[in-house]
Amino acid sequence: MPTAVSLFSGCGGSDDGLRAAGFDVLMANDVLAYARDLYTENFGGTEYVLKDIRQIKHFPSADLLIGCYPCQGFSQAGVRQPDRNINFLYREFVRALRLIKPKAFVVENVSGMVREDNFHLFQNQVVRFRTSGYRVRSAILDARHFGVAQERRRLFFVGIRSDLGETYEFPHPTHRLPGEEPSSLPQCPTIKDAIGDLPAWPEGEIDVQPFHWYYLSRNRYRGWDEQSKTIVASSRHAPLHPSSPKLLRVHTDKWIFESDAPARRISYREAARLQGFGDLRFPETQGIASRYRVIGNAVPPPVFKAVAAALPDVW
């Protein structure tokens, strides 16, 4: 079984996908205590190092290195500040890459990194990967193409060590999107497929804060037969549950509910399902905001499984 080291691992979405693709994850790392708690509760057997990566000086030898370093400054939903220090943690990933010298690596990040104002950072990463001795490919993948009932487009870098003489090819979709030409591929699952069997109003699992003006500055609604809006890390900004009234556009930045019927956000447990996890066990060590946060920051496991399974057999 090929081995992997996981950095910026969060609660384990990438690692869950890796295991499904046949990898043994030797080490995981993050700075969020609740991410570690959720990971170890559901994905035991991996050493989880709860520490700032800049303080980690030694890493296990492994065939594969993966990382989903922070992306707040690149995100469409974030502060969009490409000069924030947090956006340069990719240099720490490169440091680990040069120390471990794995046969391959995989990086996931937000698609906003390829925007014009961020593109110099995108290019700098490619240069660092190549000068570290890797043939690098990049692509933006839509989670819906891999059976995830959620609109989520993310950038992936994949590198194969140059001396191995292999080039990576990204996986073909396993599912078709709504509106795409009919094919032999199954339709992407819907919200109903993902969470339709869960309780209608799960007590204690929903952020019940009022819907403030910023929440109602855009359409957060998707119906049962659609795919979810992107699952985010902020509990206050979680998408509306399909049982809620639809939102009507008043003007560009203002939406209102079409009726006074009860409305609610999706729960953190529903968010996990919509990210492509199974039914997770949520430790009681921290509260509701932390649960939403680590799920919203996660990589959908089916997407990472597909990316890892497409790696050439260099092990």
Question: Exposed (0-12), middle (13-18) or buried (19+): which is 186, by Cβ within 10 Å?
Answer: exposed
Instruction: Assess if residue 221 is contained within a domain.
Output: no
pTM of the full structure: 0.93
- Look at residue 145 and tell me if it is in a domain: yes
Residue 102 falls within a domain, yes or no?
Answer: yes
Kindly report, residue by residue over 274-296, the tens digit of the pLDDT: 999 999 999 999 999 999 999 99
Residue 180 has pLDDT above 50, yes or no: yes
> Which of the residues 11, 68, 71, 188 is marked catalytic?
71
**pLDDT tens digit sequence for 216-230:** 999 999 999 999 999
Quote the pLDDT of residue 114: 82
- Give the domain range for residue 27: 3-176+296-309
- Is residue 208 a part of any domain in this protein? no
**Residue at 218 is within a domain:** no
Q: What is the pLDDT of residues 43-61, one digit of tens each?
A: 989 999 999 999 999 999 9
- Please give the tally of structural domains in the chain: 1
Residue 248 forms part of a structural domain: no
Q: Which amino acid is at 175?
A: H
Confidence tier at 210 by pLDDT (50, 70, 90): very high
For the segment 229-265, what is each residue's pLDDT rounded down to a tens digit? 999 999 999 999 999 999 999 999 999 999 999 999 9
Within a domain: 80:
yes
Mean pLDDT in residue range 173-182: 91
Residue 238 lies in a domain: no
Q: Residue 13 is part of a domain; what is its CATH number?
A: 3.40.50.150
**pLDDT tens column, 16-38:** 999 999 999 999 999 999 999 99
**Between 185 and 78, residue with greater pLDDT:** 185
Phi then psi for residue 100, to 5 deg, are -80, -40
Whether residue 71 lies in the annotated active site: yes
Average pLDDT of the residues in 282-311 = 98
